[in-house]
Structure formats: structure tokens, C-alpha cells
Chains A and B, each alone.
Chain A
Amino acid sequence: GDSVTQMEGPVTLSEEAFLTINCTYTATGYPSLFWYVQYPGEGLQLLLKATKADDKGSNKGFEATYRKETTSFHLEKGSVQVSDSAVYFCALGSNYQLIWGAGTKLIIKP
């Protein structure tokens, strides 16, 4: 069945460092792909999405490109801030639900 694999955390970076969180997927067809973010004590929020191959989703300085050839949707940010500390989830859209990765905790140190 469809599945999502993302890199294990926690990922610890210094402020202004470059961020990459890897996400790969297996799926039949051409699903939509999503990144969600969960700040401490809160629910998940949609960060960005891409609906077809080569689409780039972007929001709040984060970017991810839908790569069909490598079945990947890696999350990147050029310069992280302490306020980016959160748990990030990659997800794949099937017909009626989202298939979730396990989440990657990101810790940004000042």
C-alpha cells in the first residue's frame, strides 16, 4: 500500500543554518503531497503542498519540490529560526485520507 518515510529526528541545528528534512513515498498513481507542522501544544497546520510532478510548494521560507523520478518531497529552508522548532510531518493524499510519515522533530538553537 501507499506509504511515506521521513528522516528520523530529532534534527538539531543552529539558527540561520540550512535545513533539509527528507521525505520519500511509495504510491500508485500520482498523489498530492503535503508538509504539515505541529508546534508544541498545538494541532497540525498545513505548511505547503504540491499536487503534481515538478510542482514546488512554498510557504514561510520553506520549500519542497514534488520529484516523481525519485519519489521524494524533501522540505528545505535556507535559514532557520528558533521559531521554526516544531515537528514536521510529510503526508501523501490518497482518495479519502492522508497517509502520514512518522514526523521529524526539529530543534533550532540560538
Chain B
Amino acid sequence: DADVTQTPRNRITKTGKRIMLECSQTKGHDRMYWYRQDPGLGLRLIYYSFDVKDINKGEISDGYSVSRQAQAKFSLSLESAIPNQTALYFCATSDLSGGGYTFGSGTRLTVV
């Protein structure tokens, strides 16, 4: 099994729908992150969490929310999806040093 598992791998949804992207990890890391990747823009941080009770907004949190259900689980929600949220979404974890990150394989989300 992968260290960081994201579901679903691909999703097409309609404008205005609520959608949840899920992430689970077996690394035992406390820190978890949600990133968005758009062509030519690199990765942009949406939310991050240093432990179950610690949730923080990143660079582009508007339109998104998260839930840290357990140390191993960190989900990302789009309450009312819009087309410009079409992107590749990555979950990542890191240890306390904040150094090497482990990424999931990504969720490709299309909002039509």
C-alpha cells in the first residue's frame, strides 16, 4: 500500500456541488498538507495541519475547508465547487522537521 493514499483519483463534478477529497497516511507523521497544482504555477498550499487539533489556512484557502479526523486522515472539501477549482490536488505529509514531504498520487478534479 502507498504511504499516502488519496481518493478519488479522478472526479468530474458540476458547478455548485459539494465534494470531498480524502487523504490517509501510514507514515505516522503529524503534519499533513493539501496543495493545489495548476500548470505553470507550481504548488500552492490550501490548508495544513500540524496535529489533530491544529488546522491552518494556507495561501489559497478561500472556497475550501478541511477536517483532520485522526492523525492519519485529512480531508479537503469544496462546499460549492466552481470551474476555476479545476486542478490537480495533492495531499502530503511530513515529519516534525518539516523537511522531506511524502506526496499522494493526486486527485484530478474537473468542475463543469
Contacts and interface: CB of A to CB of B under 8 A. Distances in A.
Interface SS of B by simple majority: strand
Interface stretch (B12-20, B40-48, B68-76): B40-48
A96 B33 CA distance: 10
Contacts of A96: 31, 48, 50, 56, 98
Interface residues of B, number: 24
A36 B42 CA distance: 11
Contacts, number: 52
Contacts of A100: 42-44
B40 A102 contact: yes
A49 B99 contact: yes
Interface string B87-112: 00010100000111111111000000
B69 to A, nearest CB: 21
A28 interface: no
B27 to A, nearest CB: 13
A89 B37 CA distance: 12
Interface of B: 4, 31, 33, 40-45, 48, 50, 56, 58, 90, 92, 98-106
